[in-house]
Structure 1
């Protein structure tokens, strides 16, 4: 059994900061669960281009307000508490936050821990692992 708190993970190298977001990686590849689980904050009044070419992701909105723009279709979907979206086709998108978004995210395959978005908006398939917790 593995037990961690959000606060413990937030105060460790499991918290990764990007320009428009931070992600607290609570479960990672080395936990051998077959997925990774994160609590991600998208900062208010930002737009983040994302294109996970190597990962599938399911996202549940805990709090905040924003939208996700599907770049393949041009359709923009609102995001508010209770919304879930699934990037089941490695969907190229722009995540927009009008108010700070707090999101619960699941990645398959699981992340190692140190991933940040590359210039193409993707995480690498393999990255450096975290070392604590």
Structure 2
């Protein structure tokens, strides 16, 4: 998986809409690209859009391993409501510990209402 990072500020690119974006400090909220080429093209577009206004901002594409919670049906966890999403739409965790904590919190919460659920953690790279 690939991220776009601003070299001077160590912030990450986050797509909010078609032409709307922001830069975030927390890697968990960064937009993840599956292919290096897609991330590089977007970084080049961002740089080209900012350069004419005199800003000296540089972007780099960084590879990062992410973790996804996967249930017994090989489906991914998206949010508290949907834990049967396709893995491509699942929530990514930048750190394994965050994924483990979320899996534990879900299991405890679901056990309180009589539902047994468990997840494996799968690396997405």
- TM (norm. structure 2) is 0.23
Length-normalised TM-score, structure 1: 0.22
- Find the structure with the greater CA-based Rg: 2
Greater strand fraction, Structure 1 or Structure 2: 1
Which structure's residues are more often helix, by fraction? Answer: 2
